[in-house]
DNA sequence: CGAACTTTTGACAAGCATCAACACGTGTGG
DNA sequence: CCACACGTGTTGATGCTTGTCAAAAGTTCG
């Protein structure tokens, strides 16, 4: 289906982009020929700080990254979590100045791509241009679901929703097969993503385990009852806009 | 500065778009020549329902619109508010199927633009293409700020933040001159935007009045102490990405 | 002028936060 | 190799912010 050798670091991102619309072999080849730098990262590495001037965009090759905002009283709100194949900060690169922070959640590796070649590619290849645009739109769609999640759902629902979203995205990217995955977040980070406190997250997780919805052994989350968890989490994946080809 | 006669319904939107990057006179002319239908609307008119197939995009000519999501227990979360000059659902039109609802907040008027001519225009005019993209990115940037707002700020801060954002956007669009405006929302709608209950919104508003930060007479909000309100609201407008030209 | 909506008020309840301490595992340096 | 520090997870007691319920007062509009 794709001319990308599976070993190419950009092929996961390409697979995602071309799922948004038909790519020609030339489109694929041009994308894979983009010059990039491989940047191995440790857990906690700062990628972008609010206020930074950003002239390049990053694609996650391996590991997990997250974006967050700080509020006045020192609180931290995680606004997005990214996994292998995700474009990290096309937004920032297009708007030049960062409005929030980007950081690695786990050890991993990034591909750093300068914007000039990427924008040139977009100009010459409408399919790529459109795919990049759609990718940022889906990012926005996930944002809007998170507003509803932290704004109008209770703790149990919020956390269940996050676990379902995570599993669904991991499956769509082909990073896991079954409903079991390494959740790369501490309970404190889960709290920062759901607008709760670590203590309350802990209690809710215990409750979800007692109810038989999930098992969790260290960082491994196993969703025992997908039906029940997605109902508890009020989870309707349509906002993720996964094409049929990837939902499988 | 612009060849658009001030009376043209699309000129406000054009002014916003061209603030994101240099437009030629041809770009402006082409944009203003887009075929569109004028659609007068009453308050509460449904524009888009979740699940709708959307093939056109709307620009607010007059009045206010909002977007919202429903959650399982019947709760409603407002995720965005739009005013004259805003593009309403470019996201939906590009992705074909709506993931949330769009509705008029007040009586007003929309311009309905079919996507084919708009996409054709974008293909032929990179400056327009880029401006449209940036517009959706700023939409996403506002989303992310709202996540932090409902996720990590207390009621007083949330409401103050919303009032500041609203005033800032209204001023940027040239819809108001001073720090006084008609807030087109009931307290119930304010509650749905901030993730609170109407009763609590009422109490916080009274408190803000007693503290001398705002005055509110019916729907008119007057910000008496901008400095204090923006501090209370933890408001830093950088996420709105207003170009210098419009911040004035 | 009356109906429907919106704002306001009061009493009370609940969900989640806060604080503090302890348990557990892991890596590190003495 | 052990001791220790550190990050993370867990537990309990308590309290605050915000929600819920219900009703009255004020406002808008046909």
Closest residue (Cα, C1') to D18: B200
CA–CA dist B205, B195 (Å, integer)? 15
**What stretches in chain B show pLDDT beneath 70?**
1-7, 244-248
Q: Which of B25, B9, B11 is nearest to B62 (CA)?
A: B9
Instruction: With beta carbons less than 8 A apart as the criterion, state whether B155 and B204 touch.
Output: yes
- Yes or no, beta carbons of B140 and A145 under 8 Å apart: no
Q: Judge if the beta carbon of B188 is closer than 7 A to nucleic acid strand C.
A: yes
Q: Within 13 Å of residue A7, how many CA atoms lie on the same side as its CB?
A: 0
Pairwise pLDDT comparison (B84 vs A6), residue with the higher score = B84
Please report which confidence band the pLDDT of residue A94 belongs to, taking 50, 70 and 90 as the band edges.
very high
Contacts of B89 in chain A (CB under 8 A): none
Element spanning A50, H or E: none
Asked if the model's pLDDT at residue A186 lies above 50, the reply is yes
Alpha-carbon dihedral of residues B104, B105, B110, B114, nearest 10 degrees? -40
How far apart CA B152 and CA A195 sit, in angstroms, is 6
Contact call for residues A41 and A47 (beta carbons, < 8 A): yes
The predicted-structure confidence for A230-242, as pLDDT tens digits, reads as follows 999 999 999 999 8
Who's near A245: CB < 8 A, 6+ residues apart?
A19
Question: Are A234 and B72 in contact (CB < 8 Å)?
Answer: yes
Q: Find where tokens 């805003």 sit.
A: B86
User: Is the pLDDT confidence value at A118 over 70?
Assistant: yes
The angle, 0 to 180 degrees and rounded to 10, between the axes of the packed helices A126-152 and A115-124 is: 110
Q: Which residue has the tokens 């983009």?
A: A34
Residue A180 has pLDDT above 50, yes or no: yes
- Which of A57, A132, A151, A241 is the best substitution to test chain B (most B C-beta atoms within 10 A)? A151
CA gap A74, A6 in Å, rounded: 43
Per-residue pLDDT of B185-198, as tens digits, reads 999 999 999 999 99
pLDDT of residue B242: 87
* pLDDT tens string A25-78: 999 999 999 999 999 999 999 999 999 999 999 999 999 999 999 999 999 999
The pLDDT value recorded for residue A198 is 97
Task: State whether residue A181 is helix, strand or coil.
Answer: strand
Residues β-bridged to residue B108: B41
Which pLDDT band, with edges at 50, 70 and 90, does A177 fall under? confident
Strand C contact residues in chain B (205-224), C-beta within 7 Å: 205-206, 219
Q: How confident is the model at residue A246 (pLDDT cuts 50, 70, 90)?
A: low
Q: Which residue is nearest nucleotide C17, judged by alpha carbon to C1' distance?
A: A197
Nearest to B31 by CA among B91, B92, B118: B118
User: Quick one: tokens of B15?
Assistant: 């002014």
HEC per residue, chain B: CCCCCCCCCCHHHHHHHHCCCCCCHHHHHHHHCCCCEEEEECCCCEEECCCCECCEEEEEEECCEEEEEECCCCCEEEEEEECCCCECCHHHHHHCECCCEEEECCCEEEEEEEHHHHHHHHHHCHHHHHHHHHHHHHHHHHHHHHHHHHHHCCHHHHHHHHHHHHHHHHHHCCCCCCCEEECCCCHHHHHHHHCCCHHHHHHHHHHHHHCCCEEEECCEEEECCHHHHHHHCCCCHHHHCCCHHHHC
The CA-atom distances, in angstroms, between A91 and each of A55, A57, A102, B192, B201 are: 11, 9, 12, 27, 33
Q: What are the φ and ψ backbone dihedral angles of A109, each rounded to 5 degrees?
A: -145, 140
User: Please, which pLDDT band fits residue A2 given cuts at 50, 70 and 90?
Assistant: very low
pLDDT tier at A1, thresholds 50, 70, 90 = very low
**In what order do the strands lie in the sheet containing A180-182?**
A180-182, A220-223, A214-217
Q: pLDDT-derived band of residue A7, with 50, 70 and 90 as boundaries?
A: low
Interatomic distance A43 CA / D3 C1' (Å): 27
For the segment 189-208 of chain A, residues whose CB is within 7 A of strand D: 198-199, 202-203, 205-206
Nearest to A150 among B75, B140, B151 (CB): B151
Tell me the residue length of chain B: 248
Interface test with B, best of A148, A158, A228, A234 (most B CBs within 10 A): A148
Are A89 and A48 a contacting pair, CB within 8 Å? yes
Phi, psi of A44 (to 5 degrees): 85, -5
Q: Which two tokens stand for residue A54?
A: 């950003």
d(CA B103, CA B81): 10
What pLDDT, in 10s, does the model give residues A191-235?
999 999 999 999 999 999 999 999 988 789 999 999 999 999 999
Q: What is the pLDDT of residue B5?
A: 46
pLDDT, tens only, A129-174: 999 999 999 999 999 999 999 999 999 999 999 999 999 999 999 9
Are A128 and A10 in contact, with CB atoms under 8 Å apart? no
Of B77, B134, B136, the CB nearest to A148: B77
Within 7 Å: CB of A200 and strand C? yes
- Tokens for B13, please give them: 């939107």
- pLDDT value, residue B118: 97
Residue A4 has pLDDT above 80, yes or no: no
Supply the pLDDT for residue B244.
52
Q: What pLDDT score does B132 carry?
A: 97
The nucleotide minimizing the C1' distance to residue B153's CA is D17
Which strands form A46-48's sheet, in the order they lie side by side? A46-48, A101-104, A65-70, A76-82
Chain-wide mean pLDDT for chain A?
93
């Amino acid at each position: 289906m794709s001319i990308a050798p599976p070993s190419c670091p950009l092929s996961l991102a390409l697979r995602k982009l071309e799922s948004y619309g038909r790519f020609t072999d030339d489109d694929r080849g041009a994308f894979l020929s983009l010059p990039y730098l491989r940047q191995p990262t440790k857990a906690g590495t700062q990628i972008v700080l609010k206020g930074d001037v950003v002239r390049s965009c990053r694609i996650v090759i391996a590991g997990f990254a997250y974006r967050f905002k700080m509020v006045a009283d020192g609180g931290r709100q995680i606004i997005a979590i990214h996994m292998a194949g995700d474009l990290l900060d096309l937004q920032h690169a297009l708007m030049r100045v960062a409005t929030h922070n980007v950081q690695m959640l786990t050890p991993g590796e990034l591909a750093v791509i300068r914007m000039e070649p990427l924008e040139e590619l977009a100009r010459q290849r409408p399919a790529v241009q459109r795919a990049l645009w759609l990718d940022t739109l889906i990012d926005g769609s996930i944002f809007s679901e998170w507003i509803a999640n932290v704004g109008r759902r209770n703790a149990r629902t919020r956390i269940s929703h996050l676990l379902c979203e995570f599993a669904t995205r991991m499956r769509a990217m082909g990073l896991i097969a079954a409903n079991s995955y390494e959740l790369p977040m501490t309970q404190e980070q889960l709290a920062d993503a759901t607008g709760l406190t670590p203590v309350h997250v802990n209690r809710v997780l215990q409750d979800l385990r007692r109810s038989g919805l999930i098992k969790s052994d260290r960082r491994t989350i196993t969703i025992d009852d997908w039906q029940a968890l997605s109902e508890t989490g009020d989870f309707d994946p349509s906002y993720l806009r996964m094409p049929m080809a990837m939902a499988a």
